[in-house]
Structure 1
Amino acid sequence: MMINLREKILAHGVSTLKNEELLAVIIGNGTKNNSVVDLSKKIICDSGGLNLSLRQLMSFNGIGVAQACKVLAAIELGSRKIQSDTLSEKVVSVDDVGQHLINKIGNTPQEKLVAVYLNNSYHVIDERVIFIGTVDQATVHPRDILREAISMSATQIIVAHNHPNGSLMFSTNDQDFSLRLKKSCQLIGINLIDHLIITKKTYSSLKTLNLI
């Protein structure tokens, strides 16, 4: 089975492998009663994904310390790769930013407020995590966002924060903060393009809902 998976990677690329096949490559070997792919399917199915601790992984028959450590290391490497991805220098739309941030902060257990800074041509200059925690006027000030915009000569901004509970609804705090930010942007000639709520699978737009 492992030989077949390696041949598949060599012939068609690693992106063609299913989740259980990717996990099987990492684990390496199955058990007497289950192939490595069957074992991988069971792990993914029983865990509802791969949100597992070392102890939980080792509770599966056929997974020892070495295999469990490999799996956790691969998951952490993938997570760090996502966190390091940026949109720098790309020409983007609001949807591009939304899809990018679904991958980057959609699964984050804490709320993160991210600002994406652009020039007049919609080229991304940079993106920054501005704040970690609940987004409201008491904890986040527009100056925290605009200070960065001024330093990099950005003329447009898209802000976004994730809702770990999966809700796409904007709270009163979200709306109040967005309106305050919009007014501050107008005072110094910066365009607030949108404020997005990010979840694990999708996003919502304050602008589309006519809330700013």
Structure 2
Amino acid sequence: MGAEEDDERGFFAEQPAPAPARRAGKQASPHYHGHRERLRRRFAEGGPDALADYEILELVLFRAIPRADTKAPAKALLKRFGTLGQALGAPEHLLREVPGVGAQAARDLKVVAAAAQRMLRSEVRGRQVLGSWSQVIDYCRAAMAFEPREQFRVLFLDKKNALIADEVQQVGTVDHTPVYPREVVRRALELSATALILVHNHPSGDPTPSRADIAMTRQVVESARPLGITVHDHIIIGKDGHASFRGLQLI
């Protein structure tokens, strides 16, 4: 077995603390050892609902921080970012700025976030999207709500409104993303898509459509309609909610 394979096997392995030097009398174990076992037992017996958000973060941090108390950095993550979702969605370089969270712990948190996104995407792919609307919203929120820059993505659907592809078309700045309606339609034709759902995020947190959002959406709708391509909706994702152009009667 090569060194690279050994590294992969050990990526998530919790490394044991080095054996303490022998001393006369009985030496007490660090206080966090019993705490870790209690948390693991509560999770095993009661599932995730038996733990607070910071305790879920502790479980993730156990493997990256094997020889220290993880309660303080877990609570510091929530204090810095606000919620469990925002902590997992935060950029890796910001996670590393939190006291007690090093490079390995930040990477582990991003792996958990990626796994959650993949799980949600698998629930959407191949299904009739319009019949799984809450799952679509959940997936888009997980993928985009906490991005520091605007992203414009398109969900391409077939004639049965099943998801063909989910692609990020553009990445912009904190408050603007350039969108080219002709490129959106061209890609839809390449994929033989007959319907689209447009999605972008507002890093400010407020999902209210701007005038530029409304104008761009109308341009995409007008470009797609003559080619038999329907724009079902344009969803704006914010940290605290979302806005639907269809629901707002803007489409």
Both structures adopt the same fold (TM-score exceeding 0.5):
yes
Counterpart in 2 of 1:57? 99
**Is residue 189 of structure 2 the alignment partner of residue 150 of structure 1?**
yes
Partner residue in 2 for 1:163: 202
Q: Tell me the TM-score normalised to structure 2 length.
A: 0.68
111, 115, 121: which one pairs with 1:81? 115
Aligned length, in residue pairs: 196
Deviations 1:8-42 (A, max 9, x none): 343444575432222333245556xxxx54x3564
Question: What is the TM-score when the length of structure 1 is the normalising length?
Answer: 0.79
> Residue 117 of structure 1 aligns to a residue in which SS?
strand
- Is the counterpart of residue 92 in structure 1 residue 129 in structure 2? yes
**Seq. identity, %:** 23
Equivalent of 1:126 in 165, 168, 174: 165
Q: Answer yes or no: is the 8 Å Cα contact 1:115–1:127 preserved in 2.
A: yes
Please tell me the residue identity of whatever aligns with 1:185. Answer: A
Q: Deviations over 1:107-134 (max 9, x none)?
A: 1111000100112222111110011112
In the aligned structure 2, how far is the partner of 1:80 from the partner of 1:155? 29
List gaps (5 residues or longer) in structure 2.
Answer: 1-34
Q: What amino acid does structure 2 have at the position aligned with 1:47?
A: R
What letter is aligned with 1:2? R
Deviates more, 1:173-182 or 1:16-25: 16-25
1:47 aligns with 2:80: yes
Shift of residue 70, structure 1, vs aligned partner: 3.8
- Alignment counterpart, residue 4 of structure 1, candidates 38, 52, 66: 38
Q: Which moved more, 1:181-190 or 1:3-12?
A: 3-12
Gaps of 5+ in 1: 59-66
Structure 2 CA distance for partners of 1:70 and 1:6, relative to 1, 3 Å: farther
Higher relative contact order (CA 8 A, sep 6+): 1
**What secondary structure sits across from 1:56 in the alignment?**
coil
Report if aligned partners of 2:206, 2:240 keep a CA contact under 8 Å in 1.
no
